[in-house]
């Protein structure tokens, strides 16, 4: 991946992350709580991928995104450890809502997850030139 490709891919991922965050906010307002939690995770996921693309890294798995973000951004001090923890937390809740039929988030929980994603995105945004 060239530096130009990495930057273009990073910008595309960030745009997709912003769209997912907007979707999450609309879904929670509309009462679609599990969907909101899922889209909140994907907002954070796409922003994490954006940061990794800036370093020329293209992770192959969701878990890889979490691990590589910690390695290249948390360990270097560019992101706080709480940010990587938020991404991991959001991934766990997304899996619950998407794959466990009995899982159900109430409005307060879903709104909290959307807020967690927003905070993650806000922490990432200054790192994207």
Q: What is the mean pLDDT of the chain?
A: 94
- 53-105 pLDDT, tens per residue? 999 999 999 999 999 999 999 999 999 999 989 999 999 999 988 888 888 89
Identify the CATH number of the domain in which residue 94 sits.
1.20.120.330
Q: Of 6 and 121, which is predicted with more confidence?
A: 121
| Domain boundaries, position 112 | 3-127
As a whole-number percent, the residues of the chain with pLDDT over 70 amount to 99
Q: Has residue 1 got a pLDDT over 70?
A: no
Total of domains in the chain: 1
Predicted pLDDT at 102: 85
Distances (CA, A) of 17 to 13, 100, 103, 108, 117: 6, 24, 24, 22, 10
Q: Has residue 118 got a pLDDT over 80?
A: yes
The burial of 84, by beta-carbon neighbours within 10 Å (0-12 exposed, 13-18 middle, 19 or more buried), is given as buried
Q: Quote the CA–CA distance of 81 and 98 in Å, as a whole number.
A: 26
């Amino acid at each position: 991946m060239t530096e130009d490709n990495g930057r273009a891919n990073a910008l595309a991922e960030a745009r997709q992350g912003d769209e997912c965050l907007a979707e999450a906010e609309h879904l929670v307002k509309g009462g679609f709580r599990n969907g909101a939690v899922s889209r909140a995770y994907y907002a954070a996921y796409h922003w994490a991928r954006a940061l990794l693309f800036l370093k020329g890294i293209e992770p192959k798995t969701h878990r890889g995104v979490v691990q590589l973000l910690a390695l290249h951004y948390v360990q270097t001090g560019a992101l706080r450890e709480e940010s990587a923890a938020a991404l991991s937390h959001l991934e766990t809740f997304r899996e619950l809502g998407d794959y466990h039929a009995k899982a159900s988030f109430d409005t307060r929980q879903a709104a909290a997850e959307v807020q967690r994603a927003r905070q993650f995105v806000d922490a990432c945004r200054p790192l994207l030139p």
